[in-house]
Chains A and B, each alone.
Chain A
Amino acid sequence: MSWLVSPKGKRYTVAQMRWVTNHEEPLVRTVAVSRIYRRGVDEIRALDRVSLEIPAGHFVAFMGPSGSGKSTLMNLLAGLDRPSSGEVWVAGQRLDILDEDELAAWRARHVGLIFQFFNLIPVLSARDNVALPLLLTHLDKRERSRRADIALRIVGLQDRASHYPRALSGGEQQRVAIARALVTDPDLIVADEPTGDLDARNAETILSLLRRLRSDFGKTIIMVTHDPRALRFVDMAFHLDKGTLLEGEEAARAHEAIVVAASGGVVGHVLP
């Protein structure tokens, strides 16, 4: 029996999780996905036959130690990489059969990306950074600017639109990056350690904002994180280790370890 663990520590089978999410067709689905890197004669199995489903409109965390394969899995779901074997389906599109250029075109329409180090273009203002993905659309300049302003308003930075990244705090830069991920109205938002370079207060702000994108705008969000605080904001967490998706007791133990870490070791205060 395969198990997934809810943020509150409840264990579900994959089938139950699908039922829990109101029987919706999953936005994301992988079938026995593996990713093998070759370094000379060595083979590194970064991901090993991972199958999962993520319903639309959910905020999901991929958790696990370094080298567990969570970023590799995120890259596959975001269309940044292709699996060595298996199938990857997102928003009805099978990604593992697309080439580099087709994947780029698909990402431009369907995915918003958020990175740990914000990765804004330093020579562009916040508005221009947000409008950057819209260059790939047929929108005119005025409409691109208008949509960028809307995205900045959603993240609460409408009055910082003309500022350059160097004039913004880390938290503000990450909110600009979120606006950039949001501006094309993608089906899926993928965030790689979005709180990894932020202090606790800014991390909370970012997690709240991502949560609000899910609740107010129905966005599906996948977040790779080490941050145990994230568990309070996500709908479900997938635990990975050594390239495999943990299930059952293993998943529960991994989850509890994170909860303990988040509580500072006082387990009883956190677990139900």
Chain B
Amino acid sequence: MNYLKLVFANLMRNKLRTGMTFGAVSLAVMLVVFLLTMPAGLDALLNSVASNTRVSVHNKAGIVYSLPYSYVRKVRLVEGVAGAVGTTWFGGAYEEEGRVTFPNFAVEAEHVGAVYPDYGIASQHLEDFRRYRDGALVGRQTMKRYGWKVGDRITLKSTAWAIDLDLRIVGEIPLERSPVVWIQRSYLDEALVAQRGQGLGIVHVIWVRLEDPNRVEEVMRTIDDMFRNSEAETASETEKSFFGNFFGSLKGFITIVLLVTFLVAACVLVIAANTASMAIRERSSEIAVLKAVGFPRRVVFASLLAESALLCTSAGVAGVALAYVFTHGLRSFAAVIPSLGPLGSFLITPAVAAQGLLLSVVVGAVSGLVPAWGAARKPVAEAFHELF
């Protein structure tokens, strides 16, 4: 017989209630931990895809508006620019009629390597992309999703240009979560001329790689100044900022979800407090007897508080473990279910795990504090008077 045994025996007194409270706190901690990974996960995702020397140049009115193709050549001449590639949305659908299941763009094959050296695309694949006018470079995620391999032939039906293109996969973009597909701009251009007598003529986004990361602001300003008061003014931003804006709506959603999570945590706190209060009230006579046989108030208080703290902390550990399993599960599924999007990037860091555990400790301490204090401070004679 020791204090721990006493605390544990009291926790096991009503197994169903203890189990339910354990489950509620576990799930709440799991939810909170998972959602806390979102901001960090998004940041990590942006860092993983964004380079600090790459900037996007697009129409000031928004990325759905185009820029004249001539802008690309002008941008390449700006001092400090190491390379620039114009990308145009192709919006090709594969098999599933009218539905674009991966992003695909027409790009200038000869400039891709200069702008994306960090992607690690094999030189042979880049060479083949330049050589074959119907060539396509495909992101690894899309390769895996459709079971494609280099040499396969596919047809994409454009939802943007009302044209079908037969393509030959000549290489892979070796980024694990990259779904993107690049096709030759000149191939699309020729096909459009043949179909409607008019070429492409536009780009949607010009991706620019700079020589010096310290001159990013200066070069962006130079580019935007160059096209000021033109028919299509430009807005330049870093790659991280570009993708950050792209995920902007998701961030707003996360803010709402975090708010809901906070409310859930508050609800669980109230539930846990109510449970602790009920558990203590049911044992009023036993607590009175403990005090009568000489247990000091601080010991009674500590043992009662220890019950809720032990319950909630162990539930917190379980919740963090569940969140860990859940995020790893999502990560595994994200490779085969692209619709999970950035959810597959969210992994629990030690800091987030610690926050989850801290939440459970706080819930345990706060929920047990008031009822334990109330039971402990009541004079033993008063307790007996009420009970017997």
Contact = CB atoms under 8 A, between A and B. Distances in A.
B1 A124 contact: yes
B125 interface: no
Interface string B1-25: 1110110011011000000000000
The CB with the most chain B CB atoms within 10 A, among A81, A123, A144, is that of A123
B292 interface: yes
Contacts of B289: 113, 115, 119, 121
Contacts of A75: 381, 384
Contacts of A121: 6, 9, 286, 289
Contacts of B121: none
Interface in B337-388: 379-381, 384, 388
A109 interface: yes
A192 B381 CA distance: 13
Interface string A98-137: 0011001111110111011101011110011001111110
A133 to B, nearest CB: 5
Chain A: interface residue count, which band? 35 or more
A176 to B, nearest CB: 13
Contacts of B379: 81, 100
Contacts of A105: 294, 296
A267 interface: no
Interface in B286-310: 286, 289-297, 299
B285 interface: yes
Contacts of B286: 119, 121
A123 B13 contact: yes
A133 B1 contact: no
A100 B290 CA distance: 14
Interface string B272-292: 000000000000011001111
Contact of B292 (A80, A123, A134, A144): A80
A144 B1 contact: yes
A269 interface: no
Given A113-B293, A124-B6, A133-B294, A104 B380 contact: yes
Contact of A101 (B3, B13, B290, B297): B297
A116 B292 contact: no
Given A124-B1, A124-B6, A128-B5, A119 B296 contact: no
B381 A81 contact: yes
Given A80-B384, A116-B388, A141-B2, A100 B294 contact: no
